[in-house]
Amino acid sequence: MRILLLIFLLLLPLQAGHAEPLWQTLPPTPAPVPGQHIGRANVNGINLYYATIGHGSPVVLLHGGLSNSNYWGHQVRVLARRHTVIVMDSRGHGRSTRDTRPYGYDLMADDVVALLDTLHIAKADVVGWSDGAILGLDLAIRHPERVGKVFAFAANTITSGVQEGVEKAPVFARFIERAKGEYAKLSATPKDYDAFVAQITRMWETEPNWTDAQLQSIHAQVLVVDGDHDEAIKRAHTEYIAATIPNAGLLILPNTSHFAFLQDPALFNAALLHFLDNE
């Protein structure tokens, strides 16, 4: 908590000039980062889009539901100075394809493992946002030997951890509309957005539903993170996750929501680098 306060005080003058609170904004999706090595991997029955950049210990960035890997642009630029950064579009998202199997977090986590196998990476730190954070925790539960640290931003581990009616919250509603346009531009099946949303919504209605015992089985170093105005995840649930995973840290980023990595990338990145680069 002391680290959070220090970062907040250092950056407070930068936030003061905004006409509206950061948590009420939805900044533009970053452009793809120049210099990335683009690849396609046929894994687990799908064609998976990925990109790599930088040198050093590997870090995988996993985006949230309905979005794509471009959303991590502000983080990629910073992390690539110290790490080999891997971004990917989850199955059916962005430029990756999907098959007829129902969506499930276990299936999507297995896609990540298959990509690591393709890239000959034995173990990587994981940074996840929303669905991506759930995938990071899924990997820590089911594939612990493949995961180093997990930076889990805006995760839920049971379905009741999500706020009811989140899709109607103003910023979240704007994100959903943006995601529809991005899907049309990036996807190999640009007219299938409604079918894609229906398929992934069925997963959200039933998953995840992890027990305390499953969370307590995690031995990876985990930092549970959220914005103080997250419109999607209940604060009590975020605190529960941090309290249940052994030795997990808890970090609440001020004046941000479910989109903190866009709203205040300097603050988000400072917290991220501190976690990844310190023992």
pLDDT digits (tens, 9 = 90+) for 240-278: 999 999 999 999 999 999 999 999 999 999 999 999 999
Q: Please report, for residues 30, 147, 149, 254, 272, the alpha-carbon distance to residue 59 in angstroms, rounded to integers and kept in the order given.
A: 19, 10, 9, 25, 11
Closest by Cα among 135, 50, 131, 139 to 86: 50
43 pLDDT above the threshold of 50: yes
User: What number is the average pLDDT over the span 28-52?
Assistant: 97
Which residue ranges does the chain devote to CATH 3.40.50.1820?
36-67+75-102+127-148+178-209
Q: What percent of the chain has pLDDT over 70?
A: 94
| Bridge pairing between strands 221-227 and 37-43 | unpaired
Q: What is the pLDDT of residue 279?
A: 73
56 CA to centre of own chain: 21
197 pLDDT above the threshold of 90: yes
75 pLDDT above the threshold of 80: yes
Q: What is the pLDDT of residue 5?
A: 36
Contact between residue 261 and residue 226 where contact means Cβ atoms under 8 Å apart: no
Contact between residue 117 and residue 143 where contact means Cβ atoms under 8 Å apart: no
- Per the model's pLDDT, the better-predicted residue between 98 and 1 turns out to be 98
Q: What is the pLDDT of residues 168-187, one digit of tens each?
A: 999 999 999 999 999 999 99
Q: What is the pLDDT of residue 8?
A: 42
User: What number is the average pLDDT over the span 79-90?
Assistant: 98
Provide the pLDDT confidence category of residue 17 given band limits of 50, 70 and 90: low
User: How high is the mean pLDDT of the chain?
Assistant: 94
Decide if domain 36-67+75-102+127-148+178-209 falls under CATH 3.40.50.1820: yes
Q: What is the pLDDT of residue 18?
A: 54
Q: What is the pLDDT of residues 98-129, one digit of tens each?
A: 999 999 999 999 999 999 999 999 999 999 99
1 pLDDT above the threshold of 70: no
